[in-house]
Amino acid sequence: MNRLSDEKALELLRGAMTARSVDGPPDDLWPRVRHRIGRAANRPPLGDWVLAAALVVLCLLRPSLVGILLLHF
């Protein structure tokens, strides 16, 4: 079994590895970030609004329910 010299091992490693250019990132991410920020936010479904309105009405009719709701949230 032959032993490789350090120089030969380094030469083989350098030959196996490809050089990468460090010009910058492959894509500019800022246009995608601006696009996501500019999109309209998703609105909650109608059922969520109905549930919130029902809770408000119940709390106005029976203020004792506020304490019970606070224990759950």
Helices (H), 17-73: 30-38, 46-61, 64-72
The model carries a pTM of 0.42
CA proximity to 56, closest of 69, 43, 46, 45:
69
> Which residues lie closer than 8 Å to 65 by C-beta, 6 or more apart?
58, 59
Q: For 27-57, how does the pLDDT look when each residue is reduced to its tens digit (9 = 90+)? A: 788 888 888 887 766 777 899 999 999 999 9
| Mean pLDDT, all residues of the chain | 82
